[in-house]
DNA sequence: CTGTTAGCGCATTCAA
DNA sequence: TTGAATGCGCTAACAG
């Protein structure tokens, strides 16, 4: 690879002039400008970004640590993020991490000048006192960082219930293991919706302990005759697919007998019937993050909360 | 962030000694070694990798350009690659690209000193004469690069047919649009398996033109009475899900009436019945790539061809 | 064993 | 309008 020295020599000007032409490019005589451009072309010269980084103390690299347990969900994040980042001439440095210690070692390796900023996405384990306070947490639990983007789970649950009720489903079961710490928010929205619709709250329809969703569903099915539930709220699409299979194994039709609703996102695989869900716009999230990274004013991102959209299955598909 | 100067000043030694302690660390008096270590600890100093990169002319960054049209398939690649790369203290710089021109601009931005190497994954458009000859192509078509990893499609098709025949399916239809350029290899394996099993080749069961798989399947179904096909080979899992839905819409049971087989990989979503498939080990692929990147001898990776494993559905699940 | 010096490739002074 | 000099943070060669 040729350097700025080669160009300056070939063009018969100094390094400074070459640099001027390639950046600002003002206050340079046309003749030498052309000479530089010609030399650049001839040598196929391109400035070394590492040298520029050393000088500017910024690399344009954004570290993204994916801590998502559902690996398939990361794709949506990554695609949206990369799209927005590259539009701002930023690069996405990808790491996966499945535990707090893995996150820390990833952070260690990324914050030695390589990355200007780091995001952590989807961690379901505590991330307090990381020792790095300028990290942005996206959809993570127990975020004591000033900069974080959370999803409004209460809003999601409330919307979900209101939709289900509008569809004539008044016995709504809720299975939402409390790994995410967001369970109480979900419950809040759930109760709120019931109240607003003058429906009683039935403790037996709600399963928020850490036991498996499969067991919870079995309990529900065992007591189906007395509970009479006709809708089921679950944490995410993956969970939804699981319970649907289980329901069908018990000869419950979906959504005929029981309407299953996913509280977070979806994997739209062709050939798999869509279920109603709350979906969070990855694009909106990415845009928010990138704009914050670009501005980089002193003020923090704050407890930014993102609300999801209600997605209902296209009836033509069924 | 503190620099080596801060450390040397605090430790009362020269920059060189600090550097010595932190790297090689041999030939340094114990006293000054400890002084350096103490200062490092106190200042929480860590060497700036950018400065090191400028000197060594390597960044440890590997650019990965995902050109996969099926975005969900990239996750497998990325996860395996990142795992192996980080084990070799290398970083994964992620880009998505959906066309030749996007690939080129991504390459432009990545090869200015930022990345030591670049991979392109899953491109289904021609990638000749990119102007970069040290790029590694993975599962790309029309690869005239010396370094590429291809999947053995002939072997996959042959294995698939042999499996289907062993299951009593002797009328095997094949739908494999020729976008990938690998269609002729697939056909080769298909024919080979038929020959070895003394079965006739029926041209009407094979659809390799660029028309939609949906239309091809309709043709098959329209002539079902005469064709009597009881197995269907498709290009990938996505395609498989599509045809399964379509088959079920025509009251064909899967795999009862027709066994669907995916020739490339699979998305194992819980709750979705597994179908037989050829799966390529992402781990093996990543290991191969990383070892090649690390060796970096003069010799090329060569036309490395990877064979997939036959995955049959676990009967307990059905 | 250790300090000084030079230079990786670049942009930005400061003079001319 | 331009060139020479400086320094980003670091390592390697050399000299002590």
How do residues A248-294 score in pLDDT, each as one tens digit? 889 999 889 999 999 987 666 655 667 899 999 999 999 999 999 98
Residue A140 β-bridge partners:
none
Cis status of the peptide bond prior to A255, with omega within 30 of 0: yes
How do residues B246-268 score in pLDDT, each as one tens digit? 898 899 998 899 999 999 876 66
pLDDT at B272: 64
How do residues B94-108 score in pLDDT, each as one tens digit? 999 999 999 999 999
CB contact under 8 A, B241 and A269: yes
Q: Provide the pLDDT confidence category of residue B301 given band limits of 50, 70 and 90.
A: low
User: What per-residue string of b and e applies to A204-232 under the rule 16 or more CB within 10 Å gives b?
Assistant: ebbbbeeeebeebbeebbeeeeebebbbb
Contact B208, B201 (CB under 8 A): no
Contact A64, A95 (CB under 8 A): yes
B274 touches chain A (CB under 8 A): no
pLDDT at B118: 97
Contacts (Cβ under 8 Å, ≥6 apart) of A268: A274
| A69 HSE (CA, 13 A, CB side) | 12
CATH of domain A61-145: 3.40.50
How do residues A159-193 score in pLDDT, each as one tens digit? 999 999 999 999 999 999 876 677 889 999 999 99
Near strand D (CB < 7 A), which residues?
A 12-17, 20, 27-29, 31-33, 51, 54-55, 57; B 1, 3-5, 15-16, 18-19, 22-24, 45-48, 51-52, 54-55
pLDDT at A283: 95
Q: Provide the pLDDT confidence category of residue A318 given band limits of 50, 70 and 90.
A: very low
Query: Which CATH architecture fits B153-279?
Result: 3-Layer(aba) Sandwich (3.40)
Contact A65, A93 (CB under 8 A): no
Q: Taking 60 as the threshold, does the pLDDT of residue A306 lie above it?
A: yes
Question: Which is nearest to B239 in space by CA: B257, B212, B218, B221?
Answer: B212
Strand ordering across the sheet containing A303-306: A303-306, A148-151, A136-138, A117-121, A61-66, A91-96, B91-96, B61-66, B117-121, B136-138, B148-151, B303-306
Q: Select from 3.30.2020.30, 1.10.260.40, 1.10.490.130, 3.30.310.220 the CATH code of A4-56.
A: 1.10.260.40
Helix (H) or strand (E) holding B132: none
Contact A65, A97 (CB under 8 A): yes
Q: For A233-241, what is the mean pLDDT? A: 89
Out of A47, A72, A78, name the one closest to residue B94 (CB): A78
Residue B262 β-bridge partners:
B234, B277
Domain(s) of CATH 1.10.260.40: residues in chain A: 4-56
Classified as helix, coil or strand, B205 is helix
Alpha carbon separation from A254 to A231, A232, A243 (Å, rounded)? 9, 10, 10
CA-based R_g, chain B, Å: 26
Q: Taking 80 as the threshold, does the pLDDT of residue A32 lie above it?
A: yes
pLDDT at B306: 93
Distance in angstroms (rounded) separating the CA atoms of residues B236 and B269:
15
A55 touches chain B (CB under 8 A): no
Distance in angstroms (rounded) separating the CA atoms of residues A23 and A33:
12
Q: Which of A169-183, B187-201, B215-229 has the lowest mean pLDDT?
A: A169-183
Chain B nearest CA to A220, separation (Å): 19
How do residues B70-86 score in pLDDT, each as one tens digit? 787 899 999 999 999 99
Q: What is the DSSP letter of A191?
A: H
Question: Which is nearest to B66 in space by CA: B19, B30, B102?
Answer: B102
Q: Provide the pLDDT confidence category of residue A317 given band limits of 50, 70 and 90.
A: very low
Q: CA torsion A114→A116→A122→A126, rounded to 10°? A: 90
Identify the residue with better confidence: A209 or A136: A136
């Amino acid at each position: 690879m040729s350097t700025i020295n080669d160009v300056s020599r070939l063009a018969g000007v100094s390094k400074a002039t070459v640099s001027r032409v390639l950046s600002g490019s003002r206050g340079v005589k046309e003749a030498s400008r052309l000479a530089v451009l010609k030399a650049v072309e001839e040598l196929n010269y391109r400035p070394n970004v590492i040298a520029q980084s050393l000088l500017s103390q910024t690399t344009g690299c954004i570290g993204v640590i994916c801590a998502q347990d559902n690996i398939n969900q990361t794709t949506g994040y990554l695609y949206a993020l990369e799209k927005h980042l590259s539009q701002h001439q930023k690069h996405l440095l990808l790491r996966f991490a499945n535990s707090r210690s893995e996150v820390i070692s990833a952070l260690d390796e990324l914050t030695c000048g390589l990355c200007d900023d780091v995001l952590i996405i989807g961690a379901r384990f505590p991330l307090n006192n990381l020792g790095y306070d300028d990290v942005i947490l996206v959809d993570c639990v127990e975020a004591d960082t000033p900069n974080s983007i959370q999803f409004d789970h209460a809003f999601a649950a409330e919307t979900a219930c209101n939709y289900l009720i509008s569809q004539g489903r008044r016995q709504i079961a809720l299975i939402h293991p409390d790994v995410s710490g967001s369970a109480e928010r979900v419950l809040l929205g759930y109760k709120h919706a019931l109240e607003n619709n003058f429906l009683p709250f039935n403790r037996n329809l709600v399963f928020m302990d850490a036991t498996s969703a499969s067991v919870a569903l079995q309990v529900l099915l065992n007591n189906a005759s007395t509970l009479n539930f006709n809708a089921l709220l679950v944490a995410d699409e993956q969970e939804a697919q699981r319970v649907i299979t289980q329901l069908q194994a018990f000869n419950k039709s979906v959504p005929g007998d029981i309407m299953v609703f996913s509280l977070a996102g979806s994997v739209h695989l062709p050939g798999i019937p869509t279920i109603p869900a709350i979906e969070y716009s990855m694009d909106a999230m990415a845009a928010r993050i990138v704009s914050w990274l670009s501005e980089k004013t002193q003020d923090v991102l704050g407890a930014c909360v993102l609300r999801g959209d209600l997605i209902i299955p296209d009836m033509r598909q069924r």
